[in-house]
Amino acid sequence: MRQPGTTPLHVDLRRYLRETDEDRDLTRVICEIADASKYIINAIRTGDLGMAGTSNLYGEAQLALDVLSDRIIRKRLVHSGVVACIASEESGEVQQIDKDCDHKYSVAYDPLDGSSLVDVNLAVGTIVSIYKGCDVLRPGREQVAAMYILYGPRTTLVYSTGRGVHEFAMNSLMEYTLNHENLRMKPGPAKIYSPGGQRSKWTEGTERFAQELEGSGAKLRYSGGFVPDINQVLIKRNGVFMYPHLQDAPEGKLRVLYELNPMAFLLEQAGGAASTGRGRILDLQPDRIDMRAPIFIGSRESVEQAERCIAEAG
């Protein structure tokens, strides 16, 4: 098996998965989602959602972009032959495709996170969490893979199957080719930070953390899109994103299954950390598919600093 860090750049995604001896069915799931992204890109770039009364790419009446993205991904997973269950942030329910839980995968995904940002031409993304078997209400540490696709000035795909984090970029032929292999966070505190939620609603602990970051010279970088904001931290190999517990929303805003678990898996695989502020995201036991939790994620030193501030001041 090829060791991470030894692959020539611009190898395409399917070949990379094959040459790193990835499980064939897991490869199928990852590649189906990669293929689905090409249709999502078309819908984003052209707004081709179908005109009222006519059909769109799939012969459907005009759809909202996130609904169309959900249908594009769902169709490919349903027909892949390797997926047992699907849980989509868009539908908010679990769809059982196949009863063979022992040999198939379950996929929890947010088809187009930040979809409201498309209208102001900001970057959005698809976020995917993959488990073996039929149960998606499990701690994130049991994921077998996680990935996201970022629809920005460039379209990039980041995934991990537990053997490092790898970034692919879409070329002119709409193929994903290797851009960064085995991304690793740099040691040291965050130099950029992404603070979500209304500051006036932060608790004292979060306010203290933000002031310590500012005091150490960290710069604020926040787009309002979870995928681009996390991607910035990962590709810069430094930084911290937070969407904290708020005075009127102790569970924060972001969803454990579709957003927090996959990103926490990826950042931990890159040597970073992901916490609710009081404990590891990947140890959370979801009690419902739309469970939310606070998140502090990125440079391990800064995530631990956030945990200290919250332990001291709430």
Q: How far apart are CA 47 and CA 282, in angstroms?
A: 36
Choices 46-54, 179-187, 224-232, 275-283; region in contact with ligand AFP by CB under 6 A: 224-232
Confirm or reject binding of residue 224 to ligand AFP (CB under 6 A).
yes
Confirm or reject binding of residue 205 to ligand AFP (CB under 6 A).
no
Interface of this chain with ligand AFP, residues 255 to 294, rule: CB under 6 A: none
Burial of 1 (0-12, 13-18, 19+ CB in 10 A): exposed
Confirm or reject binding of residue 195 to ligand AFP (CB under 6 A).
no
Region of 206 please: left (phi>0), alpha (psi -120 to 50) or beta: alpha
Confirm or reject binding of residue 196 to ligand AFP (CB under 6 A).
yes
Confirm or reject binding of residue 151 to ligand AFP (CB under 6 A).
no
Choices 39-47, 114-122, 176-184, 283-291; region in contact with ligand AFP by CB under 6 A: 114-122
Choice between 13 and 254, CB closer to ligand AFP: 254
- Closest separation in Å from C-beta 31 to ligand AFP: 25
SS3 state of residue 128: strand
- Closest separation in Å from C-beta 17 to ligand AFP: 27
Block residue for tokens 């930040």 = 114
Choices 68-76, 79-87, 113-121, 300-308; region in contact with ligand AFP by CB under 6 A: 113-121
Q: Cβ distance 183 to 268 under 8 Å?
A: no
What are residue 283's phi and psi, to 5 degrees? -95, -5
Sorted by sequence, the CB contacts under 8 Å of residue 161 that are 6+ apart come out as: 22, 23, 26, 144, 145
Q: Cβ distance 254 to 243 under 8 Å?
A: yes
Residue from the set 22, 90, 113, 307 that interacts with ligand AFP by CB under 6 A: 113
Q: What is the contact surface with ligand AFP in residues (CB under 6 A)?
A: 113-116, 196-197, 224-226, 243, 253-254
